[in-house]
Amino acid sequence: MQLDSSETNQTPGPNQLDVAVVQFAPGTDPSANLSALREHVRAARDRGARVVVAPEYSMFAVTRLDERVVAVAEPLTGPFVTGLGEIAREFGVHLVAGMVEQVAPGGSRIHNTLVVLGPDGTLVTKYRKVHLYDAFGFLESEVVEAGAIEAPAVFGVADVTFGLQTCFDLRFPEGIRRVATAGAQVLVLPAQWIPGPAKVDQWTTLLRARAIENTVYVAAADQAAPRGAGASMIIDPTGAVLAELGDEAGVLTASIDLVHLAEVRTTNPSLELRRFAIAQRAAE
């Protein structure tokens, strides 16, 4: 199923900002992945998007991580991030995408990293995945080094604050609550949500739950088939799905409406009414 709100949206008002989610199927050629992503960003910008969100592992995607992903890893100053910056500058957007970051030259581990490039092509912020996918028969931690627990990664565009999380982080509501309490009005969640029994149902349920409980918009960009389950979505703070895809490649757009967000948070002030803080779990 595909529902794309860009077909009905009017020109955004003063309290609105258009965002786009790109769903595509990256492979093992970073240059080819950049070229494919560029065309999707072009389509998103043609629809008026000022923020474009691409999937986790947009740089290099395999079903199981191994020495191939270590061999292709780059620093944040490498050609892939530089290429993302060129795309962001060409189309005048903030571009979010997942890359394979080198931990140390010649090392055996990587970071699973999200980068945000601004319209001037520079790196705005980054997020290194904290919760590693050691579940459903996979062991991401064999190759990936978890990111340090730091202040939530957020960035602003106009008057809208965006916060970053990645894929398996979705299953940990306390991490996303930290992002919301840091001021995020939109949760940006790139993913390579591995297909499997009930996985799409879990994905969509969790995305809507995170939107509802934190009263935030959610822009979730999954990989297309065959390595991703698809079902990319843009969700409003009531949990309503504004735009969604099946498992095919495509681009979704929708408007972030700060007036609507304020109304939802007035009606349902769950962030203000919370009684518990979040503390980092001690290392075992």
Active site residues per annotation: 56, 129, 167
Rounded to 10°, the helix 30-46/79-91 angle is 20
Name, in order, each residue with C-beta under 8 angstroms of 230's C-beta and a sequence gap of 6 or more. Answer: 23, 200, 222, 223, 224, 245, 246, 247, 248
Please report, for the chain, how many H helices and E strands are present, in that order: 7, 12
Strand intervals (E) in the chain: 16-23, 51-53, 94-102, 110-117, 123-128, 154-157, 160-164, 186-191, 217-222, 233-235, 241-244, 250-257
Q: How far is CA 21 from CA 88, 99, 123, in A?
A: 14, 16, 19
Joined together, the tokens standing for residue 161 give 């604050």
What CA–CA distance (Å, rounded) separates 188 from 102? 23
Residue (of 266, 262, 251, 281) closest to 2 by Cα position: 251
In this structure, the strands spanning 160-164 and 250-257 are unpaired
Give the number of other Cβ atoms within 10 Å of residue 62's Cβ.
15
Burial 264-281, CB ≥16 within 10 A → b, else e: bbeeeeeeeeeeeeeeee
